[in-house]
Structure 1
Amino acid sequence: MKLSVTETNDNIQILKNYFIMKKFIIIVIILGLVVAGVVYGLKRHSDKYADKEEISENVTRVIEDGKMSLVDSQTGKVLVGDLDVDWVQCADGDSLAIFAQENKRGVVNLNTGKVVVPATYRRAWVYGNGLAAVEKYGMIGFINTKGEVVIDFKYPFKGNRLSDFIFSNGHCLVSYKIDKEHQRLGVIDTLGNWLIKPEYDDIETFKDHVIVMNNGEFKKMYDYNGNLLHDNLIDEIERLEYSKTFINVQTGLPENSQVLNEDYMAYRVNNNYGLMDKSGRFITKPIYTNIQGVTPTVFRAGVSGYWSSSDVLIDSKGNVLQQIKD
């Protein structure tokens, strides 16, 4: 069978188109692989070197290639660039932030990028009411927004339960040395004056009042003018039970059962317990680690000592009847 010249040319053209299309497909595949490789490489670089953290409502911390920048969370605009620091922290909406550099603390303005206070302090806390707490030689003082010390370094950082020193509603909870060995908690205002004198083992601060307590005593509520609002505050009342022996009418054998004490209860203040009667009268102060019923009018109470702990038996008047040693 012979093909005409026209048919031969058509077949040649089909073959040419086939090879052109095949070449085009190969080029597209190669370009796709190249683009995918570039994207993968960029992603690996980003995952390896970039770290983002929103440190306030408006500011995001970005770490890339070992350098930190502070950028606007909405626009991505760089506020502060090339900071060789460990971390930055501020209160929500505040333009002044605490930064760490070589294990020291300073203050930076997030809007201008200006370092307000060089990294010179061992510890620092975020601003509240225009003041920030800073630690120097183990003592806490307060600086203003210009970095000036306005409340001197006289509040111990260690030796108390406090971990945050931040002003709120014009007051701040601090610890104060009353002698060489003992500290007490109190509350100061933004001028460093005592609103609540340092006389307490524990203080809970609220917007308009505080609840204070000394170990083994009742809680009390004061306002910030020192007026007593409530006395003898407790945290919880617990019902007491005691063991009573009954004779089983079916077996004739004695059986023990727990009976609810209707006349006496234990109350709790923090982690300490005391005894009270059903009228709400406090029989003992909250000086025991626990209280359990023994009989309707005898109770076993835990006593915590400096070196050891033991229990005692007390009666319904709070008198100690006997010491129990394990």
Structure 2
Amino acid sequence: MKSKITFLFTLVLGSFLCFGQELALVKEGKKAGYINKSGEFAIPIQFDDAKSFSDGMAAAEKDDMWGFINTSGEWAIQPEYDKVKYFNSGVALVLKDDNWYYIDKTGSKIDAPVADKYFDFNDGVAFYRANDQIGLIGPDGKVVLEPSFDAIKKFRNGHAKVKKNDLWGMIDKTGELVIPAEYTALGNTWTPAGVDARKGEAFGIVSNGTFNVIEGADKVWGFKGDSKLAYARKGKKIGFVNSQGEWVIEPSYEKARAFVDGLAPVANGKMWGYIDESGKMVIEASYRDAEVFSDGMAPVKDKRWGFIDKTGSLVIPMEYDITAGFAFISGRDSKGFINGLARVKSKKGWGFLDKTGKLLADKWFENAEPFESVK
């Protein structure tokens, strides 16, 4: 009995550690490998080129051909392709002998309907274009939604905006319309609070099936994350509205970004600070630029970038460059901290800082991409 319990504990612990593992693609001497969050090489520098992990696999190049490796750095799919895309939903798009097609994680070809163009999978579906119309297919290659829209944009939070007869709506992953295609413009991202929209000359928020017009607005931006406030512009000034389209913070700023963790960057003139959801300036406007909070920290800029905490204290000096990198893989904004680490650039190269400003493994790389989950 004791040995069985020990075995089960080890199995569960191993599964937990595997699930939580993250690796970052790094490059040195024109070769690529992967480090873990301790800064150790989980997969040594060895590949001619490589991409970040996605869906438990990473594309890697050897002798001008591409294949896919597993988390041990072993070839799960041998390098035999001219080009490859990222795995998503258990499927990847590959090019061989001038033909694009889908493969699963065993490298087997997936039968899919003939299309004018093939698209990457995202969130369980891929676009399917035929006769200038767009539909959806699933990971098994079967049609989920017959081509019936003029355009479908990237799925975000399980929803995608669609275009029909020059008007926009939004569908879920089954292809069902959750917002009718009756809007002149529509935001890209579905959130629980609603979606920013325009109908004719009116700007507002679509929430629970209702278009709530924002009085006097001539532009509106979407909600971010689970925030209940979006920002909008009226008379060349920006303020914040709720899902009903009501002004919660009157338009009084020349520039603004979204609320995250209860704080939003705003600016009048050249200097940025942060307000809370009551509109009170809680971090003085003293920065040349400022990004939204992430993981309790926010990037702020003088000549270069550093990081403040939510009290406004400068924790990491403004000595670095930051960039969005390739956050589209996971949908995360990599300008700030993610799970305790921030990707930054110095004169010595790319690296990762913890929340005290300590450099991960005291090591800079020629290039480093954001950490990505390997599961």
Higher helix share: 1
TM-score (norm 1): 0.47
Q: Answer with 1 or 2: which has the greater Rg.
A: 1
Higher relative contact order (CA 8 A, sep 6+): 2
